[in-house]
Amino acid sequence: MTVKALSIGLKGLEGYCVQVEVRIKPGTESMVIVGLPDVSVKESRERVAAALGYFDADITDQKVVINLSPAEQKKNGPLFDLAIAIAALKELNMIKGKIPMDTAFIGALSLDGMVVKAEGMLPALIAAKGLGLKKIYLPYDPTIPIHMLKDLDCIVVQHIEEVVQHLEGQGLLPFHPNPTPNDQMPLFIPSPQKDFRSVIGHEQAKRALEIAAAGEHNVLMSGPPGCGKSLLAETFPSILPKLTNQAQLEVMSLYQLAGERSLHQNAPYRHPHHSASSVAIIGGGSSPRPGEISLAHRGVLFLDEIAEFTKKNLDMLRQPLETGEVTISRAHSIVTYPSSFILIGAMNPCPCGYLGSNDHYCTCSQKQIQSYQNRLSGPVHDRMDILLSLKSVSLDQTLKTQDSSLTIRERVEKARLLQYQRYQMEITNAKVPFEILTDTSPLTNEQRKMLMNVVVKQNWSNRVQIKIIRLARTISDLAVEEKITDTALWEAMTLRRWGLHKQQSLARET
């Protein structure tokens, strides 16, 4: 007779149901695992055999065959240990009760039968919920917010004996583990967030960043060294709304797969160095892991000195910026990770950095300036919604009374709520399909003519035209306008006309 139990396998962030089949019959003493197991799954033989010894289960002169179905999917990780051991105990008649087929078992085993946590448990739990499973047995992990997983009965166990007792109908005592010093610490201790109230000057840039936060628009900032580009980017997360429950689970799952910890309530903020490799930024490896663009999912990816990144790495961002996900193909696996983020880039206008500066003389030739600016390819430049040209600000200026980050964030949250209600889903103006945007917020004939007049003069691509309409919709949302206004459309075009066009004209004059 063959006994079956369910577990969860992972393919990137996506989970699928794995049926563990165990059959024990007389023969040469051995334990065989089939179904494309990797090395960590094959090592389950020794852990499971040791755990069976805790129950005095005799598998001497027995051949144990374990099949992990579906057979065509490569299995990795020790998450199947518990399911294999439970199915084997049932096959040996050590468990009298029935193993429900709406119940899954995840967790690794130690040699004394303890159920211990393993990498990828949170994505597995989210997948179990999506697959319609009702109950799941798992080890204790302080980083998993079980209270957020509604409609899924999570039974936390310490030892495999507790699983057997529960399957036999015996109740479990409330699980209150003794916290370790690591468990008592928060998942991540962030540095105090900067506040826009403390940023001197740059009023137009603050307004542009507020629009970017409200609609999840990409921003490219250009200006001389020390003018405040990095400061504005570092302050930007302080005006982003808190993550929703679904977004928190997605972010925490990605960080777990990457082996990092995160403060799951706040939008993530990633700022890789320009020397980072393509694997570090995009993701990959022999066993593909999330890269920086996936770790910035639902948050911000800040590329300081974006012109210093290799052209190959920047061009790799083109597809994720359009689709909101990245697919990594390897010989043995193809995985897809979400990567919907706000891209903020910062660069100098020229190699010396002082093109257009009022305080320093630019020593670069026109050819040097053009070559430097061309490091950012046209397709990547086209995908930036807002172009900002910054100037140095004198610290002698009196700090004006202005809105704090909290006040700006409240406006951003209201604008986001209007977008969610309009589209009937958790999506913003920058990410919503253009067909839905035009159906819900069409331009008037006069607005189309106004846009076309500027487009012809600026020689903008179709993508840029669409981005301007998206920007105008966000600006109208911040003003709590039901339709796109003429003022919003004009401001959106102004935000696009700043930036590098002005610097390129300066370069032609030098």
CA 131 to chain centroid: 21
The whole domain housing 158 covers 3-183
My answer on whether 214 and 299 are in the same domain is yes
- How long a stretch of residues is the chain? 510
Which CATH number belongs to the domain containing residue 489 in this structure? 3.40.50.300
pTM of the model: 0.87
Beta-strand relationship, 3-11 and 14-26:
antiparallel
H-helix or E-strand spanning residue 22: strand 14-26
Judge whether 190 lies within some domain: no
pLDDT one-digit tens code per residue, 451-508: 999 988 888 989 999 999 999 999 999 999 999 999 999 999 999 864 444 444 444 4
With the C-alpha atoms ordered 23, 25, 31, 32, is the resulting torsion angle positive or negative? Answer: negative
Position 55 scores a pLDDT of 87
Buried b (16+ CB within 10 A) or exposed e, 382-421: ebbbbbbbbebeeeeeeeeeebebeebbebbbebbebbee
DSSP E strand boundaries for 152-194: 153-157
Structure tokens at 309: 């990144």
Q: Looking at residue 397, what is its pLDDT?
A: 62
- Do residues 175 and 291 share a domain? no
Residues 263 and 173 in one domain: no
Task: Give pLDDT tens digits for 126-183.
Answer: 999 889 999 999 999 888 888 888 888 999 999 999 999 999 888 665 554 544 444 4
pLDDT at 320: 94
Q: What is the pLDDT of residue 175?
A: 52
208 and 160, same structural domain?
A: no
CA distance 170 to 490: 69
Residue 146, pLDDT score: 85
Q: Do 159 and 16 fall into the same domain?
A: yes
Domain boundary among 183, 206, 235: 183
Query: Are 138 and 29 in contact, with CB atoms under 8 Å apart?
Result: no
pLDDT at position 262 is: 64
CB atoms inside a 10 Å sphere around CB 190: 11
How far apart CA 300 and CA 192 sit, in angstroms, is: 17
CA distance 353 to 361: 10
Task: Write down which residue in 148, 183, 218 finishes a domain.
Answer: 183
- Does residue 189 sit within a domain? no
Mean pLDDT confidence for 297-313: 94
- Dig out the tokens for 500 from the structure: 């590098």
Q: What is the DSSP letter of 139?
A: E
In the numeric block, the tokens 């700090």 are attached to 399
Beta bridge partners of 34: 67
Dist. CA 474–CA 428, nearest whole Å: 9
For residue 309, being part of any structural domain is answered with: yes
CA distance 121 to 79: 8
Checking if the pLDDT of 66 tops 90, the result is: yes
Residue 443 lies in a domain: yes
Q: Is residue 188 part of a domain?
A: no
Per the domain annotation, does 137 fall within a domain? Answer: yes
Q: What angle do CA 26, 29, 31 make, to 5 degrees?
A: 100
Based on the domain organization, do 213 and 156 belong to the same domain?
no
Q: Assess whether 388 and 490 both reside in one domain.
A: yes
SS (H, E, C) 293-325: HHHCCCCEEEEECHHHCCHHHHHCCHHHHHHCE
User: Which amino acid type is present at position 371?
Assistant: S
Q: What is the DSSP code (8-state) at residue 186?
A: -
Measured from the Cβ of residue 93, the count of other Cβ atoms closer than 10 Å reads: 10
What's residue 400's pLDDT?
Answer: 60
* Same structural domain, 467 and 337: yes
Side chain identity at residue 172, one-letter code = L
Distance CA 10, CA 68 (A): 13
8 and 157: one domain?
Answer: yes
Same domain membership, residue 207 and residue 146: no
What are 454's two structure tokens? 């500027």
Note whether residue 333 is domain-resident: yes
Give the DSSP H or E segment for 10.
Answer: strand 3-11
Q: Are residues 413 and 367 in the same domain?
A: yes
Which pLDDT band, with edges at 50, 70 and 90, does 330 fall under? confident
User: In the listed set 183, 218, 249, which residue is the last one of a domain according to the structure?
Assistant: 183
Look at residue 409 and tell me if it is in a domain.
yes
Are residues 106 and 250 part of one domain? no
**What CATH number does the domain containing 15 carry?**
3.30.230.10
Residue 116 CB-density burial (10 A; 0-12 exposed, 13-18 middle, 19+ buried): middle
- pLDDT greater than 60 at residue 442: yes
Counting the structural domains of the chain, the total is 2
The helix/strand/coil state of 273 is coil
Pair of tokens at residue 134: 């009702």
Nearest to 205 by CA among 368, 422, 392, 11: 392
Q: Which sign, positive or negative, has the C-alpha torsion 270, 271, 277, 278?
A: positive
- DSSP code, position 39: H
Angstrom CA distances, 2 to 59, 92, 258, 465, stand at 16, 11, 36, 62
Helix (H) or strand (E) holding 338: strand 334-338
pLDDT of the residue at 180: 45
